[in-house]
Amino acid sequence: MIYIPVFFALCLWLALGVFGVDSDEVKSVSVMEGDSVTQHTNLTHTQTDIQILWTFKLHTRLAEILKREQMNSYFVSRDGIFRDHLQMDNQTGSLTITNIKTEHTGLYKLMIISDKISYTSFTVIVHAHLSVPVISRDSSQCSSSSERSSVSKCVLLCTVMNVTHVSLSWYKGNSLLSSISVSDLNIRLSLPLEVEYQDTNTYRCVVSNPVSNQTQQLDINEICVSCSAHMQNPHLVGITVFLVLVVATAAVAVMWFLYNRNSRHRVQTRDEEEIHYADTTFCARHNEIPKADEHTVYSSVF
C-alpha cells in the first residue's frame, strides 16, 4: 500500500499535471446558489489501504479518508468559506457541498491512492438567483418622422444588475433578435431595441444562465407612449417649467400678502391696548384765620 502525506500528495498532484500524466477530463457542473451538489468518487465502498483526498483550488484541503490496517482517519474542513457546508460519505468518499454559495465556484480535485494513483477534476460554477430584467425607454434616442423616418420609433433598453455568466437577449415572438453575454461580474448589463410605436408584435427580454432564466414582456403602449408624446410636443417641457414657476410665484405673493396683513393687524391691536398717562397738577389750599371783633375797653385809673 502506498501512503502519501498531504503535503507530498499535493506535490505529486502538481507534478502529475505538469508532466502530462493521463488523467480524466475536467467535469463541469453548474448549480444555483442555495442548492446542494455531490461530487462522486465512483467507489461503492472504501476498502482497507486507501487514501482519498479532496482539495479546492489545489491548495485548500477539504476532506480526506485514510484507511490502513491499524488506522482509520477521517477529516472534513470546518473552516473558512466551507464552514458548515461540507459532508463526506465515509463509505464511498463522495463529497457534498450543501447550501452552496457563489464563493464556492472554482476547481475541485479528487485524488485516490490505493494500488494505483488516480485523480479527477471538477469545475463547479455557482449561479446567483436572477432578477427580472427591467425595460425602459431611452428618451435621448427617440426619433421623429421629420428627423429620421416616416414612422416614429422608440428606443428601449433592457437592463439587469449584478450578474455573472449570463446572456441577455431580445426576442420577437420566438425569434432571437439580439443577444449579449458576459462571464465576469458585471454591475450593469443593457441591451437596446428599436421599435415602432404602432408595432403590434410581441417582444420579450430574457436573462439566462445555464440553470435558470427570467423574462420580461414588453408593453409598447405603456412604455413608448410618453416617448411619442414627447416627440409630438417638443415645447412640453418648457411649458411645464413655466407653469411651475407661475404657480410658485403666485404662492409666494399670497404668502407675502397674508404676512403683511397679519403684521398690520397685530400693530393695530397693540395701539388699542396701550395705556395713556396724563400730567396731574396739585393746587395748595390756604385756610384763613377769622379776624376777631375789634372793640375798646375802658377802665378806671386810680
| DSSP output for 154-166 | EEEEEEEEEE-SE
Residue 120 has pLDDT above 90, yes or no: yes
C-alpha grid cell for residue 119? 485523480
User: Whole-angstrom Cα distance, residue 76 to residue 66?
Assistant: 12
Question: Using one digit for the tens of pLDDT, what is the confidence trace for 19-77?
Answer: 344 456 788 999 999 999 999 998 888 778 899 999 999 789 999 999 988 888 999 99
**What domains appear along the chain, each with residue ranges and CATH number?**
6-127 (2.60.40.10), 134-232 (2.60.40.10)
Contacts with 288 (C-beta within 8 Å, 6 or more apart), sequence order = none
Residue 253 — very low, low, confident or very high, per pLDDT cuts 50/70/90?
A: confident
Tens-digit pLDDT profile for residues 219-247: 998 888 754 455 555 555 566 667 878 88
Is the confidence at residue 168, as pLDDT, over 60?
A: yes
Cell digits for 92? 464511498
Q: Is the pLDDT at 184 greater than 50, yes or no? A: yes
Indicate the burial class of 54 (C-beta count within 10 angstroms; 0-12, 13-18, 19 or more): buried
Cell representation of residue 170? 431580445
C-alpha 185/C-alpha 126 separation (Å) is: 13
Assess contact for 65 and 92: CB atoms under 8 A: no
Q: Among residues of the chain, what percentage have pLDDT more than 90?
A: 44
In the chain the first and final C-alpha atoms are separated, in Å, by 189
Name the strand (E) or helix (H) holding 248: helix 236-272
pTM over 0.75: no
Burial class of 223 by CB neighbour count within 10 A (0 to 12, 13 to 18, 19+):
middle
Q: What three-state secondary structure class fits 260?
A: helix
The Cα–Cα gap between 263 and 124 comes to: 78
